[in-house]
């Protein structure tokens, strides 16, 4: 009816094309506003139409207006009372250049499309699953921005007004008080469908509200979370009560990175046999991080069987695990680690040769000097040569001052033997030229 009247007036020349378009736009806005149960306060139907409406006698106000240089776009602005500090919350589409610290809430999609700033506790509390879904729905249909306490959506045409306005009203109600911030954070930490959001809310509680009762309750529930990384964080925080959870994570190998961290956390509490069992399963399943941490723990364990376990890994594994096994053998401090490490010097793997040389610097005897010197001689420059020379120097420093009759190193070039003026038939230190043998004066 209204459209027909406008068309008739336009045909009669009473109104121009611009005025006709403005009044048609305004009518579309009015229909959308009334369908949402809002009361229209005032309108302007000039070349730049404008509409203002409210709900609940001022509790919520809506403005719809033209936007852009030519006024072809439409902007909907919703003002509603928000919680304290809501005016400091900013949510806008990501752009190439952003200033200030951005909040990552743990929802991959929302973190990708929106730049979010504001008081962290309030932001995380507000952006629960329902609110994020509404934000995403509005984003698909318009350019959404929240700042200075207002929700604003810019649409390319008026056809979307009737679709977007109800979403904005729902969104404003999701952001309105009252809101119990800590309670909402705890609910998000335990109930949100996105594991990243659960984790970020839990970390926020741990970081900013460590002694709050809601945090303790949330941590207890998080120990049963489906996500291993969340169980890990919770178990760490609750101390002794979380040791069982850490053990399950270490042995479960559901997530390699998490299992590795759990083994590291439990290192001194894990019996040697249990660590070895985890290592075997990690090696079989190619859980490399966990295998690495287990080998390092075994190397520091002081167990008599440690060298045998690590030597087996060193003998059978290649790639990144072999150097780890070599370094762990050095950590044992056991002379029994020397033979497998000397064998490793002959493997054609540079990082392994470097690791083996370094480990021999810790546990090697004079028997390792010649193999190290031979290896250093094959390389004029590089890390292998440096590692070998350093290992020889460390072995030499331990061997200095040996008593007569003991095999040691001369004060000359490393790796060479000479005899002192001691009892005949004994090997010791001498001042003779490098590489020569000198005998003590027999009576």
Determine the pLDDT at residue 401.
53
Task: For residues 385-389, give the mean pLDDT.
Answer: 94
Planar angle of CA 89, 92, 95, nearest 5 degrees:
135
Burial of 127 (0-12, 13-18, 19+ CB in 10 A): buried
Higher pLDDT, 431 or 207: 207
Q: Give the pLDDT of residue 18.
A: 62
For residue 159, what pLDDT band results from cuts at 50, 70 and 90?
confident
Burial (Cβ within 10 Å: 0-12, 13-18, ≥19) of residue 321: buried
The pLDDT value recorded for residue 438 is: 42
Examine the pLDDT at 429 and tell me if it is beyond 50. Answer: no
Decide if pLDDT at 442 tops 80.
no
Q: Tokens representing 91? A: 């949510």
Residue 431 CA to residue 55 CA, distance in Å, equals: 102
Model confidence pLDDT, tens digit, residues 319-342: 899 999 999 999 999 999 999 999
Query: Taking 50 as the threshold, does the pLDDT of residue 423 lie above it?
Result: no
- Assess whether pLDDT exceeds 90 at residue 414: no
- Rounded mean pLDDT of the chain? 87
pLDDT at 166: 97
Question: Mind listing the pLDDT tens digit for each residue in 77-105?
Answer: 999 888 999 999 999 999 877 677 899 99
Q: How much is the pLDDT for 58?
A: 67
Most confident of 157-161, 354-358, 437-441: 354-358
What value does the mean pLDDT take over residues 109-138? Answer: 97
Percent of the chain with pLDDT over 90: 73
Between 423 and 164, the higher pLDDT residue: 164
Q: What is the largest distance, in Å, between two alpha-carbon atoms of the chain? A: 141
Q: What is the pLDDT of residue 39?
A: 93
- Is residue 212 pLDDT above 90, yes or no? yes
Q: Which residues contact 312 (CB under 8 A, 6 or more apart)?
A: none
Residue 420 pLDDT exceeds 70: no
Q: Rounded mean pLDDT of 152-175?
A: 94
Given this model, what pLDDT does residue 204 score? 98
Q: Does 424 or 71 have the greater pLDDT score?
A: 71
Instruction: Please check the confidence at residue 431 and state whether its pLDDT lies above 70.
Output: no
pLDDT above 90 (res 371): yes
Work out the pLDDT band at 407, boundaries 50, 70, 90: very low
Task: Check pLDDT > 50 for residue 344.
Answer: yes
**pLDDT value, residue 59:** 80
């Amino acid at each position: 009816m209204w459209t027909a009247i406008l068309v008739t007036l336009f045909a009669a020349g009473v109104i121009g094309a611009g005025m006709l378009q403005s009044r048609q736009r305004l009518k579309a806005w009015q229909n959308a506003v009334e369908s949402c149960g809002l009361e229209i306060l005032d309108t302007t139907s000039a070349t730049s139409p404008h509409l203002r409406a409210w709900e609940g006698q001022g509790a919520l106000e809506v403005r719809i207006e033209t936007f852009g240089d030519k006024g072809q776009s439409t902007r909907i602005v919703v003002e509603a009372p928000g919680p304290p500090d809501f005016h400091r919350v900013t949510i806008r589409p990501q752009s190439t250049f952003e200033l200030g610290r951005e909040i990552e809430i743990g929802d991959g999609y929302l973190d990708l499309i929106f730049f979010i700033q504001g008081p962290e506790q309030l932001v995380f509390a507000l952006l629960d699953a329902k609110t994020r879904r509404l934000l995403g729905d509005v984003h698909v249909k318009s350019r959404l921005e929240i700042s200075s306490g207002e929700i604003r959506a810019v649409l390319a045409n008026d056809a979307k007004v009737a679709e977007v306005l109800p979403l904005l009203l729902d969104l404003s109600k999701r952001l309105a008080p009252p809101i119990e911030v800590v309670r909402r954070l705890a609910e998000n930490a335990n109930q949100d469908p996105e594991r990243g959001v659960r984790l970020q809310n839990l970390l926020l509680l741990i970081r900013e509200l460590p002694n709050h009762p809601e945090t303790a309750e949330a941590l207890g529930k998080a120990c049963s979370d489906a996500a291993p990384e969340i169980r890990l964080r919770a178990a760490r925080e609750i101390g002794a009560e979380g040791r069982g959870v850490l053990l399950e994570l270490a042995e479960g190998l559901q997530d390699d990175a998490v299992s590795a961290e759990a083994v590291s956390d439990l290192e001194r509490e894990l019996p040697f046999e249990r660590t070895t069992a985890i290592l075997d399963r990690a090696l079989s399943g190619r859980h490399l991080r966990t295998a690495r941490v287990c080998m390092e723990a075994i190397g520091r364990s002081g167990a008599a069987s440690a060298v045998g376990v690590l030597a087996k890994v060193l003998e059978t594994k290649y790639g990144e695990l072999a150097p780890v096994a070599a370094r762990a053998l050095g950590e044992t401090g056991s002379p029994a680690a020397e033979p497998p490490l000397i064998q490793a010097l002959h493997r054609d793997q540079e990082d392994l040769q470097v690791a083996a040389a370094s480990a021999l610097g810790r546990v090697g005897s004079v028997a390792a000097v010649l193999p190290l010197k031979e290896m250093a001689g094959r390389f004029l420059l590089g890390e292998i040569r440096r590692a070998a020379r350093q290992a020889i120097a460390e072995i030499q420093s331990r061997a200095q001052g040996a008593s007569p009759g003991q095999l040691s190193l001369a004060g000359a070039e490393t790796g060479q033997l000479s005899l002192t003026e001691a009892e005949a038939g004994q090997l010791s230190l001498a001042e003779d030229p490098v590489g020569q043998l000198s005998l003590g004066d027999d009576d």
